[in-house]
Chains A and B, each alone.
Chain A
Amino acid sequence: MNLFRRKEGAPWISFSIPGKYLLFILSVLSVALILVTSATDVMDHISFTALETALMPLERGLANTNRWLSDKSVMIGNIRTLQAENEELRRKIDALQTENIYLQQDEYELSGLRKLYQLDEQYQSFEKTGARVIAKDAGNWYHTFLIDKGSDDGIAVDMNVIADSGLVGRISAVGTNWARVISIIADNAAVSGSVLTTSENLIVQGSLEHYKNGKIRFSKLTDPRSKASVGDKIVTSDISDKFLPGILIGYISDIENDSNNLTKSGELIPAVNFDHLEEVLVIITMKEDYRETEKTGEAS
C-alpha cells in the first residue's frame, strides 16, 4: 500500500498523504476533540498563548482605529450642531441644577427610609470592571463576542455582564487577556427571570427568530391572577444559579396564555441595545460568593 507515496508537485508536505486518508485522519481527530471538549470543561480554562499574543493586540487595534475614525468624523461633521446644542445644554444645566437640589433632599429622605427598612443597594454595590467588545462570533447563528479583559484582570467563567444597566450575558470562557461572553439574545442561551411587580418566575429564552424583531422570548410564567402586564420589568430571579438577582433584563411587550392555561409566555424588549454594544461592565461578584456572603450576613 502506498499510503506515503511521494507525489509530483505535491502542495506542501514532501510525504504527501492522499486527500481521502487525510480527510479520514482529521475527521477522527475532530470527532475525538468534540467528544473530549463536550464531556469536560477543559476548553474553559486552557489559554492559547500563540493566539492571544498574535490576535488580541490586533483585534484591539482594529477596534480602536474604528472608534477613533468615527470619533473624528463626528467631530468634523457636527461642530455647528454642537454649538447650537451647547446653548441649549447650558439652559438645561440651569434647570437641572435647581432640580438637583430638590432631588438631593429626596435622596436624604430615601436613604433614611432605606436604613429604616434595612434595604441594601445590592445592585449598585456589586464590584464591576469595564471592558471593550473586540470581536464577535464568526457565524450568523449565535451571538457570542469577545472582550478585552481576561483572567489577568480577575475575570472568571460565569461572571455576569451588563451594559446600559441591563443584562447582556455571562462569561463562558476566559483567556489571560480576553474572555468570551454568551449574550442573552443568543439562541442557545436561557436566563431564569422574574417579573418585578409580582415576583413570579419565568424563563427568558434567547431566540434567533424573535431577535430579528428586536425581542426575546419568555415562557413558563405562572401568573394565576393575571397581574403581569405589558410594560412590566423583568429582572433576573433569585433562583438562578449563575445570574445575580435583580439585574434588569427588559420590559414585557407581549403576553399571552399558553394552551395549557396554567402558564403564560410572550416577548420582552431587552433593556440593552445590542446593535451598539461597544463597552460592557463585568460584575466581579459571582452568584456563589454572593450567596455565601448572604448566608454569613444572616448568621451574624
Chain B
Amino acid sequence: MIRRIRRLLLYLFSLFVLFLLQISLPVFMPFTALKPNLLLILVSSFGLLRGERTGLLLGFLSGLLIDLLFGDVVGLYALIYMFLGFIVGTFYKSFATNRILLSVSLIGAADVFYGFVCYVFLFLLRGRFHFGYYLWHVILPEAVFTMTIAVLLYPLFLKINDLLEERELMRTRRFV
C-alpha cells in the first residue's frame, strides 16, 4: 500500500512541477518562442519504465490538465496524450530502458507522432493543408528540443524508478 502511495505521489508531484514549468516557460523566454514538450517526456518516460497502464493514466491526467486550462473543448488533449502513453507503454516489455539514447529517440519519435496528430486535429480539419511547412517549422523543431531536454530528464526518471523498484523488491523479499 505504502509503495503504491509513494508512486502515486511521485507521479502527481512530477506532473504538477512539469506542468507548471511547461506553462511558465514563456515567462522565462520570448512569448512566441518554440517550447519543448515536458509533459510528453514525463508520460512517455513512465510509459516506458512502468508499462502501458501507467502511461495511459499519466497521459490522461496530463492531457486533462492542459484541456481544463487551455482547451477549447475538454478531452481532446486527454485523448491524444492517453493514446500516446499507451502506445509508448507497449514497448515496456521489449525495450532496454536503461539505454538512454534509445529511450530518448523513442521519446523524440513520440513527439513527432504527437505533433502529427495535433496537426491533423487542430489544423488539417480547419483546412490548413500546408503540412510540409508545419512539419519543418513546428513538429520537427519541437521534437529536437524535446529530445534535448529528455537527455537530461529521462536519466533522472530512470534513476528514481530504479531506486523505487529496488526498495519494493527488498520489501517483498523481507516478507518472503
Residues of A within 8 A of B (CB): 9, 11-12, 14, 16, 18-19, 22-23, 26-27, 29-34, 37-38, 43, 48, 51, 54-55, 58-59, 62-63, 66, 133-146, 172, 180, 185, 187-188, 208-209, 211-212, 274-277
CB of B151 within 8 Å of the partner chain:
no
Chain A residues in 8 Å Cβ range of B79: 27, 30-31, 34
Q: In whole angstroms, how far apart are the Cα atoms of A276 and B30 in the complex? A: 6
In contact, A62 and B35 (Cβ under 8 angstroms): no
Main secondary structure of the interface of B (DSSP, over half): helix
Chain B residues in 8 Å Cβ range of A58: 20
Q: In whole angstroms, how far apart are the Cα atoms of A187 and B34 in the complex? A: 15
Contact digits for B117-140, partner A, Cβ 8 Å, 1 yes 0 no:
011001100101010011001100
Chain A residues in 8 Å Cβ range of B142: 140
Chain B residue total in the interface (Cβ 8 A): 60
In contact, B74 and A33 (Cβ under 8 angstroms): yes
In contact, B32 and A143 (Cβ under 8 angstroms): yes
In contact, A37 and B73 (Cβ under 8 angstroms): yes
With most chain B CB atoms within 10 A of its CB, the pick from A26, A51, A143, A172 is A26
Q: In whole angstroms, how far apart are the Cα atoms of A278 and B1 in the complex? A: 46
Which residue of the partner chain A has the closest CB to B55?
A19
In contact, A138 and B22 (Cβ under 8 angstroms): yes
Chain B residues in 8 Å Cβ range of A19: 51-53, 56, 86, 89
How far is the CB of A290 from the nearest CB of chain B, in Å?
Answer: 26
Which residue of the partner chain A has the closest CB to B38?
A138
Chain B residues in 8 Å Cβ range of A34: 73-76, 79
In contact, B75 and A37 (Cβ under 8 angstroms): yes
Q: How many A-B residue pairs have CB under 8 A?
A: 156
In contact, A30 and B78 (Cβ under 8 angstroms): yes
Which residue of the partner chain B has the closest CB to A21?
B53
Q: In whole angstroms, how far apart are the Cα atoms of A146 and B24 in the complex? A: 10
Which residue of the partner chain B has the closest CB to A211?
B32
Minimum-distance CB pairs A-B, first 9: A33-B75, A136-B26, A34-B75, A135-B23, A30-B75, A30-B79, A19-B52, A19-B53, A38-B73
Which residue of the partner chain A has the closest CB to B126?
A188
Q: In whole angstroms, how far apart are the Cα atoms of A23 and B168 in the complex? A: 27
> What are 19 sample pairs from A and B whose C-beta atoms fall under 8 A apart?
A16-B53, A23-B52, A27-B79, A54-B16, A55-B69, A58-B20, A66-B28, A136-B26, A138-B35, A138-B66, A141-B119, A172-B72, A180-B69, A187-B126, A188-B122, A188-B126, A208-B134, A208-B138, A276-B31
Q: In whole angstroms, how far apart are the Cα atoms of A138 and B51 in the complex? A: 25
> Besides the contacts A22-B56, A23-B82, A33-B73, what 20 more A-B pairs have beta carbons closer than 8 Å?
A18-B53, A19-B56, A26-B60, A26-B78, A29-B75, A30-B79, A31-B79, A34-B74, A43-B73, A66-B27, A133-B26, A134-B24, A138-B39, A138-B66, A143-B32, A144-B70, A188-B122, A208-B138, A275-B30, A275-B32
